[in-house]
């Protein structure tokens, strides 16, 4: 009888373990995943055109893996319920003398939002932002105060992760149970003087992910 009871208890524990919900929102189970070695752009497609710039150190001579996205995810801290955190994991994060852009985007209540950072000059100058985005009208949105500077960002070179700390009040003030949809991430590398990349659209290289899983606000 005791042996049968032990078997039933073990069986119950196994069933319970498999029935527990698995929630996204951390590195081991990110909302957004991306293939490695899938960067694109002018520097990748036409490298011969940029050999001159390489010699005068206007384009990077190191690997471009610091633009290559592996995954991205959202998370919250119970002790700081007024903030949403977003992390982007790169293949090999390092500073570039050019303007590297790291961004995560989503939709909330049919409005598009983004958070991101511009990092250049070996980290001596960084600019981080969050707020609503309007496609071609992003500059207009920034001037109208819909995209706001944020300055709290952790750059973890050892683990290849950039983490943005986003005030919820500037991204629609989501409440517990609200859902962020159409989550995706985007990176790019530009000349400091963008006209040098004309007519290639500004980015020397870029990496864009497909839509990932939804994220549900917890706090």
Query: Which of 69-73, 75-79, 191-195 is the least confident region?
Result: 191-195
Answer yes or no: is 9 within a domain: no
How many separate domains does the chain show? 1
Answer yes or no: is 125 within a domain: yes
Cis peptide bond upstream of 139, omega within 30: no
Identify the domain containing residue 105 by its residue range.
25-216
Tens of pLDDT, residues 115-145: 998 887 666 667 888 999 877 667 667 667 7
Sign of the CA dihedral with 84 first, then 189, 121, and 198 last: negative
Closest C-alpha to 162, from 121, 132, 118: 118
Answer yes or no: is 148 within a domain: yes
Does the pLDDT at position 23 exceed 60? no
**Cα–Cα dist 106/114, whole Å:** 6
Q: How far is CA 203 from CA 58, 171, 194, 206, in A?
A: 13, 26, 8, 6
Does the pLDDT at position 98 exceed 80? no
Most confident among 28-42, 116-130, 164-178 (mean pLDDT):
164-178
Does the pLDDT at position 150 exceed 80? no
Mean pLDDT, range 93-119, rounded to an integer: 89
Query: How would residue 22 be classed by pLDDT, with cut points 50, 70 and 90?
Result: very low
State the average pLDDT for the chain. Answer: 79
Mean pLDDT, range 2-13, rounded to an integer: 42
Tens of pLDDT, residues 44-60: 777 666 666 666 555 66
Answer yes or no: is 11 within a domain: no
Answer yes or no: is 149 within a domain: yes
Query: How would residue 2 be classed by pLDDT, with cut points 50, 70 and 90?
Result: very low
Q: 1 or 161: which carries more pLDDT confidence?
A: 161
Query: How would residue 198 be classed by pLDDT, with cut points 50, 70 and 90?
Result: low
Closest C-alpha to 209, from 100, 95, 81, 105: 105
**Cα–Cα dist 93/116, whole Å:** 15
């Amino acid at each position: 009888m005791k042996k049968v009871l032990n078997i039933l208890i073990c069986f119950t524990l196994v069933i319970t373990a498999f029935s527990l919900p698995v929630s996204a929102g951390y590195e081991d189970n990110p909302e957004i995943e991306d293939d490695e070695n899938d960067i694109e752009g002018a520097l990748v497609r036409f490298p011969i055109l940029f050999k001159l710039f390489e010699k005068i150190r206007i384009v990077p001579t190191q690997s471009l893996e610091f633009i290559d996205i592996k995954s991205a995810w959202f998370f919250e801290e119970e002790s700081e319920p007024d903030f949403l955190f977003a992390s982007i994991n790169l293949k090999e994060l390092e500073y570039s003398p050019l303007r590297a852009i790291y961004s995560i985007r989503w939709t909330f209540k049919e409005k598009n939002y983004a958070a991101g950072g511009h990092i250049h000059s070996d980290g001596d100058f960084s600019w981080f932002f969050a707020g609503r985005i309007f496609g071609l009208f992003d500059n207009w949105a920034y001037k109208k105060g819909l995209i706001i500077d944020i300055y709290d960002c952790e750059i973890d070179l050892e683990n290849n992760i950039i983490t943005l700390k986003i005030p919820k009040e500037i991204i629609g003030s989501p409440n517990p149970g609200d859902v962020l949809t159409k989550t995706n991430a985007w990176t790019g590398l530009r000349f400091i003087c963008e006209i040098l990349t004309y007519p290639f659209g500004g980015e020397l290289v870029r990496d864009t992910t497909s839509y990932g899983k939804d994220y549900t606000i917890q706090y």
